[in-house]
Structure 1
Amino acid sequence: MWKVLPRDSHRLRNLSGKHVFITSCDTELGNSLAKWLDKRGFCVIAACATEKGCQELQSCSSLSLKTVNLNLADSNSISRAVVFVTKETAGNGLFGLVSNAEGTAPVAPTDWLRIEDFHSVLDVSLLGSIEVTLKLLPLLKKAEGRIVNLINAKGLMAFVGGGYSLSKWGMEAFSDTLRIEMQHFGVKVSIVEHGFFRGGVVNSDVIEKTLFRLWNGLTPEIRDSYGEKYFVEYTKAQRSSVKRLCDFDISKVIKCMEHALIAKYPRTRYGAGWDAKFFWLFLSYAPSCLSDLLHEIK
């Protein structure tokens, strides 16, 4: 997981009954964390995008776990969820906020995209997550709580066009600024940078279907400027990169998120998954000529 330091072993006491709000619990990461923290005695409030997601999670959890519908692209939905959290915490404040948001992010060259394709990811993964955080800050400050932002480490490198990397870079900047500002109130902010995991939102079949849709929607001029060979090679590269980097042990991410919530001295950043620690992080510090070369051959 990470190199363990002596201070990492110090844990907070009396965690039972503390409220933790987790977004995007329809995903495997959010769902798994909600179940894990529920078993640890936290009062989990799990936000799901669908009623089906809420029902399935409640059916396999304790009675203390509550669910609420949340559409991160809708301010009214966010406001309703905040009202629900406020009532559930009953004046005690919110101990933890885990932001686990992934918008629909078309992976394609920039001039294949429309502004709507940027909105589809930025409105959820960046602006939606920021709005939830801003509206819950009073509750988090009251409890001197924790904010944990889950960010795909691929966002450390701008390898693809569109809003995906923009949203990740934006959340990194937002988290760093917020961490410094919230120190005055005893609120701790951590980032969990994770790689590709089985069952995650990144799926090679979905990427391929999206690329075909975008390619077929291009004007003849743009399509001819790239050529059929470019499209075939680009699609193959995107599909193979996901499969090569995919990890199967989702517990690596869960353990990082749990430590960020219960450690007396949580880390500023956690790396979960071999590609997050040894590939994307390395490339983010490597000379541009090297990362550009890998971009061309991936």
Structure 2
Amino acid sequence: MWLFVAAALVGLFLLRRWYRERQTVPGLTEKFVLITGCDSGFGNLLARQLDARGLRVIAGCLTEPGAAALRAATSPRLQTLSLDVTSSQSIAAAAAWVKEHVGDRGLWGLVNNAGIAVPTCPNEWLTKDDFLKVINVNLIGLIEVTLSVLPLLRRARGRLVNVASVMGRIAFFGGGYCVSKFGVEAFSDSLRLEMNSFGVKISVIEPGYFRTSITSVENSEKHFLAAWEKLPEQVKADYGENYLKQFLESIRSMKDVCNPNLSLVTGCMEHALTSRYPRTRYAVGWDAKLFYIPISYMPSAISDRIFAQYQPEPAQKA
């Protein structure tokens, strides 16, 4: 009896959520959305996706060839602008341009998508500058872009969508990527509380492994080998050539596990921008939902043991 009641309540809850999440906001064709990192990957696909739906997309691109290719693939509604999220001058110029074009309506949506992943290596192999290279794009740039247009988002009572990662929940490799994504989660949480009274809804996208330019095996391998070559000979001896070989093999194996279906991620971004009732967090991909997110709730003793089996063996062990 109680089992039936519990199942019925769960079913009603899921049905209610399904119904609420399929209600869209009105007047989408009049709403402006700014997306960073539109040269390729998630940002490029989302820009084309929202343009096809009739929204007024402002696509921030790092390169002119990337911007030109995107304009050629979309309608005249879509506008591109040059945006380097590591440059305060570039961000200020972009924010001024956006303010001029959206006018009194404000900015309905900002999608902080721009990001990089490399160098990704054991922490000891990296320098402060290596960490900053990633953090300046993934976190500091995200914060500065957000702050530059936040008054416009408040005016429109709009949406902020920040791209984090399952690696913002649990970290098992070194470098600035996981550090930056944990920071994105923290910034999003604090800002969500502050903006709640202004009617601005904030969502975080937490993808698992997807095949984009930042997960390029060749790029990751190049930076990994460059970091190895800079190490003192004693450190190389402590880790050993076998450690290097095993780590390179793990990098190359990533090609087989990365999901090529980027629309799973952009679909969540679109939902966060267009639904009356967007989710606070979107875990995307079966690896995120069934492996990484559940492990992030486990005691560290258990999660450490799980990930330890994937760590290469150093020559010099304790």
- When normalised by structure 1's length, the TM-score is 0.95
* Paired position in structure 1 for 2:8: none
Q: Which amino acid aligns with 1:264?
A: R
Partners of 1:85 and 1:160 in 2: CA distance: 37
CA displacement 1:178-215 (0-9 Å, x = unmatched): 11110110100001111122234212222111111111
1:46–1:65 contact (8 Å) kept in structure 2: yes
Partners of 1:291 and 1:237 in 2: CA distance: 19
* Paired position in structure 2 for 1:53: 66
1:270 aligns with 2:282: yes
* Paired position in structure 2 for 1:90: 103
Q: Which amino acid aligns with 1:95?
A: W
Partners of 1:163 and 1:112 in 2: CA distance: 12
* Paired position in structure 2 for 1:135: 148
1:256 to 268, 290, 304: 268
1:286 aligns with 2:298: yes
Partners of 2:303 and 2:217 in 1: CA distance: 22
SS at match of 1:16: helix
* Paired position in structure 1 for 2:94: 81
1:105 to 118, 122, 127: 118
* Paired position in structure 1 for 2:216: 203
Shift of 1:297: 2.1
Query: Cα RMSD (Å) of the superposition?
Result: 1.4
Q: Which amino acid aligns with 1:63?
A: P
Shift of 1:279: 1.5
- When normalised by structure 2's length, the TM-score is 0.89
SS at match of 2:205: strand
Partners of 1:219 and 1:200 in 2: CA distance: 31
SS at match of 1:165: helix
2:117–2:176 contact (8 Å) kept in structure 1: no
Instruction: Pick the structure with greater CA Rg.
Output: 2
Most deviating of 30-39 and 84-93: 84-93
SS at match of 1:94: coil
CA displacement 1:9-49 (0-9 Å, x = unmatched): 22111111210000000121100000110111111000001
1:17 aligns with 2:37: no
Partners of 1:39 and 1:8 in 2: CA distance: 21
2:118–2:220 contact (8 Å) kept in structure 1: no
SS at match of 2:29: coil
SS at match of 1:231: helix
Say if 1:23 and 1:58 are closer, same or farther in 2 by CA, change over 3 A. same
SS at match of 2:279: coil
SS at match of 2:173: coil
Gaps of 5+ in 1: none
* Paired position in structure 1 for 2:255: 243
SS at match of 2:305: helix
1:183 to 196, 201, 215: 196
* Paired position in structure 1 for 2:9: none
* Paired position in structure 2 for 1:37: 50
* Paired position in structure 2 for 1:155: 168
Q: Which amino acid aligns with 2:43?
A: G
Partners of 1:156 and 1:268 in 2: CA distance: 14
Q: Which amino acid aligns with 1:253?
A: V
2:117–2:215 contact (8 Å) kept in structure 1: no
2:116–2:214 contact (8 Å) kept in structure 1: no
SS at match of 1:20: strand
Q: Which amino acid aligns with 1:156?
A: R
Partners of 1:291 and 1:204 in 2: CA distance: 25
Q: Which amino acid aligns with 1:62?
A: S
- Give the count of matched residue pairs: 295
Shift of 1:127: 0.3
